[in-house]
Structure 1
Amino acid sequence: MSEGLMSRRPSSPPPAAALLPDNDDILREILLRLPPLPSSLPRASLVCKHWRRLLSDPRFLRRFRAFHRRNPPLLGIFNTAFYGLLQFTPTLDPPDRIPSARLSLQVGHGDEIWDFLGCRHGLALILNQTRLELTVWDPLAGDQRRVPVPPGWFRNEGAVYNAALICNNHLAGGVPLEAFKVVLLRGLLDADHPQLFASIYESETGVWGDAISIAIGVPVTLVNPSVLTKDSLCWLVQEYDTGSDGNHILEFDLDRQALAVFGAPVGTEESCLELVRMEDNKLGLAALLDDVTIQLWERKAGSDGVARWMLQKSIKLDKLLSVGSPIVGTLIHGYDENGHVIFISTSLDVFMIQLKTMQFRHLFKAMFITSYHPYTGFYTTGNISQYLSEVSFSFSVYVFCNIFHALIKH
Structure 2
Amino acid sequence: MPLDLVRYVFGGAVVCAAGDDQGHVHGDCHSSPFKVVLVGTREHHPAIAWVYSSETGMWSNLVLTMEPCDGLIDVHFPCTLVDNVLYWWLYGHDNGILEFDLHTQTLAVTEGPSRADTNSINSRIIRGEDGGVGVAVFSYLSLKLWKRKVSSQGIHTWVLQQIVVFHKIIDLTHQIKTRKEAIVGYSEDAGADLISVPCCLGIRTGKEAIVGYSEDAHALFIKVSCCSGPHTFIVELESMQSRKINQSFLENSYHPFTNFFTAGTVRALSTVPVTEPPVYRSSR
Name the counterpart of 1:285: 135
- How far apart, in 1, do the equivalents of 2:115 and 2:8 lie? 29
Q: 1:366 aligns with which of 233, 242, 248?
A: 248
State the Cα distance separating 1:302 from its structure 2 match: 3.0
- How far apart, in 2, do the equivalents of 1:309 and 1:210 lie? 33
Q: 2:79 aligns with which of 208, 223, 226?
A: 226
Q: Secondary structure at the match of 1:370?
A: coil
| C-alpha RMSD of the superposition | 2.5
More helix by share: 1
Larger Rg: 1
Mapped pair 1:294 → 2:143: yes
Write out aligned runs for 1:229-248 (5 A): 229-239=82-92, 246-248=94-96
Mapped pair 1:326 → 2:202: yes
Mapped pair 1:200 → 2:78: no
Name the counterpart of 2:185: none
Name the counterpart of 1:30: none
Name the counterpart of 2:36: 182
- 1:255 corresponds to which letter in structure 2? H
- How far apart, in 2, do the equivalents of 1:323 and 1:228 lie? 31
TM-score by length of structure 1 reads 0.50
- Residues 123-162 of structure 1 deviation map (CA, whole Å, 9 limit, x = unaligned): xxxxxxxxxxxxxxxxxxxxxxxxxxxxx46753332110
More strand by share: 2
Q: How has the CA–CA distance of structure 1 residues 201 and 163 changed in structure 2, closer, same or farther, with 3 Å as cutoff?
A: same
- How far apart, in 2, do the equivalents of 1:219 and 1:168 lie? 29
Contact 2:211 2:222 in 1 (8 A): yes
Name the counterpart of 1:342: 220
- How far apart, in 1, do the equivalents of 2:137 and 2:211 lie? 12
Q: Secondary structure at the match of 2:5?
A: coil
- Residues 75-126 of structure 1 deviation map (CA, whole Å, 9 limit, x = unaligned): xxxxxxxxxxxxxxxxxxxxxxxxxxxxxxxxxxxxxxxxxxxxxxxxxxxx
Contact 2:135 2:145 in 1 (8 A): yes
Name the counterpart of 1:82: none
Q: How has the CA–CA distance of structure 1 residues 265 and 177 changed in structure 2, closer, same or farther, with 3 Å as cutoff?
A: same
State the Cα distance separating 1:261 from its structure 2 match: 0.7
State the Cα distance separating 1:359 from its structure 2 match: 0.8
Q: Secondary structure at the match of 2:171?
A: coil
- 2:83 corresponds to which letter in structure 1? K
Q: How has the CA–CA distance of structure 1 residues 340 and 175 changed in structure 2, closer, same or farther, with 3 Å as cutoff?
A: closer
- How far apart, in 2, do the equivalents of 1:257 and 1:156 lie? 21
Contact 2:52 2:59 in 1 (8 A): yes
Q: Secondary structure at the match of 2:74?
A: strand
- Structure 1: gaps spanning 5 or more residues: 1-151, 240-244, 383-410
- Structure 2: gaps spanning 5 or more residues: 22-26, 174-200, 265-284
Name the counterpart of 1:165: 14
State the Cα distance separating 1:177 from its structure 2 match: 4.5
Name the counterpart of 1:265: 113
Contact 2:69 2:109 in 1 (8 A): no
Q: How has the CA–CA distance of structure 1 residues 197 and 270 changed in structure 2, closer, same or farther, with 3 Å as cutoff?
A: same
Contact 1:299 1:308 in 2 (8 A): yes
Instruction: Give percent identity, aligned residues only.
Output: 32
- How far apart, in 1, do the equivalents of 2:115 and 2:130 lie? 25
Q: Secondary structure at the match of 1:376?
A: coil
- How far apart, in 1, do the equivalents of 2:236 and 2:211 lie? 14
- How far apart, in 2, do the equivalents of 1:326 and 1:301 lie? 39
TM-score by length of structure 2 reads 0.70
Name the counterpart of 1:27: none
State the Cα distance separating 1:202 from its structure 2 match: 0.7
Aligned residues: 222
- How far apart, in 2, do the equivalents of 1:267 and 1:236 lie? 11
State the Cα distance separating 1:367 from its structure 2 match: 3.3
Write out aligned runs for 1:133-148 (5 A): none
Large movers: runs of 4+ above 6 Å: none
- How far apart, in 1, do the equivalents of 2:36 and 2:218 lie? 23
- How far apart, in 1, do the equivalents of 2:115 and 2:6 lie? 33
- How far apart, in 2, do the equivalents of 1:153 and 1:252 lie? 23
